[in-house]
Structure 1
Amino acid sequence: MDYDRFISLVEQAAGVDRETAERAAQATLATLGEHLGRDECRHLVPQLPPELGGWLFSQGAAQSFDVTEFLRRVAEREHTDEAAAELHVRTVFLALGRALSDDGYAHLVARLSNDYVPLLPKGTGAGGAASVDAFLAGVARRARVDTGLARRITDAVLETLGERIGEGEVDDLLTQLPVSLHPSLTRGASRADETTARMSVDEFLNRVAERAGIPAEPGAPLPSPAAREYARAVFNTLRETVRAEFFDVTDQLPNEYWNLVTRQG
């Protein structure tokens, strides 16, 4: 694949103009080079057009950073926000999958941790996970709230879920969720212990209400009915998004949690 074809693929997949596609490719490849380091880049550079190889090649040793930091660096280089950077990175990885040999691409993927999986091509799409906009739209529709509140309640539920299920199950979810939702899950998982592993559904909902800033309703019982409905909206959007992995996760939860995962529109 030559340079023009690579950039055209990014341009078409991301729905951007050529200048933006070139900026996205340069930012992504430069950040990937930092992550892989000089020795690993040497395996990949000969398979790419010279213009792209120059962006990828790194003079330094590999730097270990997670996918959230990867997107932060790309966004900084592109002078854009992280939501746009996530889309751009996914399309550049799609183009890399076409440009590299099968062995070269497998070599690259083997050097990325599992939290990078949502950025990698799956099937013929531009990435392996739903977009954050699509996820939040699902929560907003089910909870009948605007997207700002949908984001707050999503972060609150995911953080509390991370506390409840711990790092092992969180790792499986990270491979299927948009990268911008990862911090909430990992923040919660970092605090998981024997106490949070026994968290009742009422305590779960009380923590969600506190984190999302849901006020107590005068005369209403605790946990807040609103927190229950909001949690259901997030759980059902998770079920729709991650499918098999969702049932692996919920299988670890006691029966009292199942009224949060019943089918909802």
Structure 2
Amino acid sequence: MSRYALFGRSVSSSPSPRIHAAFARQTGIAMEYTAIDVEPQALGAALEAFVAGGGRGANITVPHKEAAFARCARLSDRARQAGAVNTLRLDQGQWYGDNTDGAGLVRDLTDRHGLDLRGRRTLLLGAGGAARGVAPALLEAGVGELVIVNRHPERADALADMLGEPARAHTRYWEDLATIGDFELIINATSAGRHDGSALMLPLALCNDMTAAVDLNYGDVAIAFLAWARSAGLRTIIDGLGMLVEQAAESFQLWHGVRPDTDAVYALLRQATPEPKAA
């Protein structure tokens, strides 16, 4: 039985093992998938031990996506563009790295939620591994403008430079949020409220009648941003559960050559994590 795993910090409660177990049953593929908690300084040793124990592939989550990128001998175009990896596959004893986050997000927003991303003025909050994974896919999906804002502006500038489309993708300061206009799509790729449960204070001036609010997180981690979206009276509020399932399906296809059906798996997980309600 081939072994696969999720590597991250505090991932013991992640639904990823359930997702891949469902995919395996659906496709008749024998595989084992576990979640492995690892601190940043121990990632290299953990991956080596995993391979020694028969590991064939892995998903990578916070805070290891950029570190995993540096460990790959080969990279997909989208991983190279993002500068971050969320999927590893062992090829002839070396890691091949991919990033399925962007494809997973776009498929969830367009296919499941019916959003047309073309031409939308988009605000991306955050510039870490999650933001780097989805930003190229958002541009490819046709958003009209991508404004990147991060509390550490140098990271936002680095992400914009990496995207290489200054006419469409550029940065502003966090302090300017109240004066940069409104958006049709706001995506939270930060961990605000993750550790202390604090409220996420964003100006209501960012919103208009068409604004869709999307958090790449789900469950308790998404509470702060989703609460703000409800307070703003937004009609379209989406958490990251669907993206999680879709990016997992992309990873599964990279490992096994077949893409599983995601609707039934999403519905199963949605029962335990209620869909966010609009105001």
Q: TM-score, structure 2 length as denominator?
A: 0.24
From the two aligned structures, give the one with the greater helix fraction. 1
Q: Which has the larger Rg?
A: 1
Q: TM-score, structure 1 length as denominator?
A: 0.25
